[in-house]
Amino acid sequence: MKKTHLFLSMFVMLFTGSFMTACAQQKAKTEQQIEEDRSRDQYIQSMDILSNVIGNVRMYFVDTVNINKMARRGIDAMLGGLDPYTEYIPYEDMDELKLMTTGEYAGVGAIIAQRPDSSVYIQSPMQGMPADEAGLIAGDRILTIDGKDFRKSTTPLVSQALKGVAGTIAKVTVMRYGETKPRTFAVKRRKVIMNTVPYSGMLDGSVGYIRLNGFTDKSAEEVRTAFFDLRDKKGAKSLVLDLRGNGGGLMQAAIEIVNLFVPKGKEVVTTRGRSAESAAVFRTLTEPVDTKIPIVVLIDGQSASSSEIVAGALQDMDRAVLMGQKSYGKGLVQTTRQLPYNGIIKLTTAKYYIPSGRCIQRMDYSQANQTGMATTIPDSLHKVFYTAAGRPVEDAGGILPDIEVKQDTAATLLYYIAVNNDVFDYVTDYFLRHKSIGQPETFSITDQDYAAFCRMMEEKKFDYDRQSGKMLEKLEELAKIEGYLPDANAELKALREKLKPNLARDLRRFKKEIMNHLNNEIVTRYYYERGSIRQSLPDDKVVKEAVRLLRDEPDRIARILSAPKSTPKK
């Protein structure tokens, strides 16, 4: 009897447990179905309203309306409220997507920009591309293209006119700086390939350097080629991979670049989203080129997306030392889906997780603050993860470098000089007056050149925003409201005198920084982007610290990448 009661009791318990589990599953399924039904009803209702709104505008609005433009504005506003990365790309803009993914397009190969007077000019012809070979130079103001007037235009319209079928001729008429008669150039369009490795070279006798500017379907091969050249031909014993300012690109390119330096079969990134198809695990698929060479990866606040996958994966695998500043914090994945009329939608479909399991997404676009802006994920919600060796790392809204090297704070004056048209014209004038200059690493304008530059800036009455003066005005207002103004008048007056705008003084105070900028801009005219990088490297404090670490402190590298003395439990 006792055995029978025991058996019955166990049976009842098992049945009850199974029944409760089934009920819970049914409840969850029911709630999910209710939510799906609600979502479907909302979708049908929204589409009905939207269709009727457009129909009423088309039929009854007082003026004729371009429905396509109105719909495009609505689509852009709708998607813009989700996050900055989700967007609609119509068929006519497909070249931009191709450029982002392949680094290729058919055109003349020139970067253009617009001035406040609505004129568009050549900002920088690409080395060896049609515009460069035809003789167009930076500063040339575009007047007409194939006979069509572009004296007052926009960069998108001019860009569209310069692009075209490879092999066709673009007749470009420009006004060159300092001249009064236009020049016309016949530029033969061809496939333009934008290299994502603009420069690689040796920093000293043993340290190789690769600058990577983006992630396209050719980036991994470019890095591979540069690496073999540095290691096998130039004798590099260690490597600096510079990802600063690299905003990302194709995730697959990031995986392939990681694969160059870690064994086959390693997990690099995992994606997870709402749909089942967004969940995937990506591993290295081929044999690496070198798993031993010491590597330092440079990152900063503009290193994002695929840059963070490369840096974060190499950090999580204890394969490279990260140096610089905290990265941007973009842990989202975009995929494209086909739309009617050959358009596509680039849609955020998942978050990605690097090998330690962390997602480094910084912004929460589902939550908005009082001003309607997305909120930053608070520090209190950050979690600790561990690398393969057991080193603690955080999902800290970005990748934290193993060695932080802070950049020097630039004066506000330098920003305004960098974007000032008169400064651009000064560089153009210098280029036209000098047929050649010295090597990028050693070139510098003279003190006489700088004195002439300062005179020009004063004659042009160069003005720039002075944040300190604005802050002082706010401080005086607050002091007045709070009743401190009478007693603080003397101190505020003295501070006002010290902060009084004085262009001549500021040009003297920041002479070194301004000369560095002018030198770099001038070098770029002669040696293009490659020369610009060469010119900046000798004074780059982050690069110098990376070289010192790789050359002189191998033991420190080993300590950084090794397990802590007491390895935490995972």
Could you say which of 330, 356, 395, 506 is catalytic?
330
Whole-angstrom CA distances from 265 to 52, 215, 250 are 54, 22, 20
Could you say which of 242, 300, 316, 402 is catalytic?
316
- In DSSP notation, 194-225 reads --S--EEEESSSSEEEEE---B-TTHHHHHHH
566 in active site: no
Q: Are 394 and 383 in contact (CB under 8 A)?
A: yes
Whole-angstrom CA distances from 85 to 331, 336, 348, 390, 440 are 12, 11, 7, 34, 37
Longest CA pairwise span in the chain (Å):
114
Residue owning tokens 């920003």:
415
305 in active site: yes
Q: Are 231 and 296 in contact (CB under 8 A)?
A: no
First to last CA, the chain: 50
Q: Where are the alpha helices (DSSP H) in 81-162?
A: 94-102, 130-134, 155-162
Q: Where are the alpha helices (DSSP H) in 404-537?
A: 412-418, 421-433, 447-459, 467-481, 485-498, 503-509, 511-536
Question: What amino acid occupies position 300?
Answer: D
Helix (H) or strand (E) holding 87: strand 87-89
Round to whole Å and give the CA distance between 194 and 63.
45
Q: How many residues are present in the chain?
A: 570
422 in active site: no
Could you say which of 305, 306, 307, 327 is catalytic?
305
For the four alpha carbons of 86, 88, 93 and 95, in that order, the dihedral sign comes to positive
Catalytic residues: 305, 316, 330
